[in-house]
Amino acid sequence: MKPLIYSSPYAWIFWIVFTLVYLPEFGLVTHSRPQKGESTDRGSLLVIMISGWIGYPIAFSLAGSKHFHLSHERFWFFLGLGLLVSGSLLRRYCWRVLGQFFTGNVRIHEGQSVIQQGPYRLVRHPSYTGGMLMHTGCGLALANWMGALVLLVTAGLGYLYRVNVEEKALVNGLGEEYREYMQRTKRFVPYVV
């Protein structure tokens, strides 16, 4: 069985969208170098990257499997691309809201306070929610439910590790203000988790 992403024009559409949404992500990684003596990241950026390196080859290898195939391929293809783009736009918006305090690695800036504007009013890590939407969207664009699940789980595990590292650093750096913020908000989905 040949998935849509391996036939024209869908392959062109998929790879153009995939490249446009992930190019800024690669730029982020290349500019995310910890400063000398800085160890608050604890390898969490690397964990996120590895989780993608593991998930994507598995998802793409499952794409042609009839056992996990989703019927109505075009629907799932375009829904998946919609989630991929939506997740990317959410991440870009989060980067803009955080402004100078946004970094690819875990770092607390001098004078930093808890950001509670935009999506940060509702959840503590909306950028990671966006990342999980991107991964899941890619899996759905493959019209393969197992591929979508693999990408969601591998990304989710990477982000969970990152969140634990990040929240410890934020509590240490911002203190009671961040603890109160943690009590008022969920991590990824408003009012849920």
- End-to-end Cα separation, the chain, in angstroms: 37
Please state the rounded mean pLDDT for residues 119-142: 95
Contact between 81 and 17 under an 8 Å Cβ cutoff? The reply is yes
User: In a 3-state reduction of DSSP, which class is residue 117?
Assistant: coil
Give the pTM: 0.87
- Tokens coding 141: 């664009």
Domain regions of the chain by residue span: 4-20+43-184
Count CA within 13 A, CB hemisphere, residue 32: 22
16 has a pLDDT exceeding 70: yes
The pLDDT score that the predictor gives to residue 19 is 94
Q: Which stretches within the chain are classed as H helix?
A: 10-30, 44-62, 73-98, 126-141, 145-174, 176-184
**CATH code for residues 4-20+43-184:** 1.20.120
Please state the rounded mean pLDDT for residues 97-126: 83
41 has a pLDDT exceeding 80: no
- Tokens coding 62: 């499952």
Count CA within 13 A, CB hemisphere, residue 96: 8
The pLDDT score that the predictor gives to residue 51 is 86
The DSSP 8-state label assigned to residue 35 in this structure reads: P
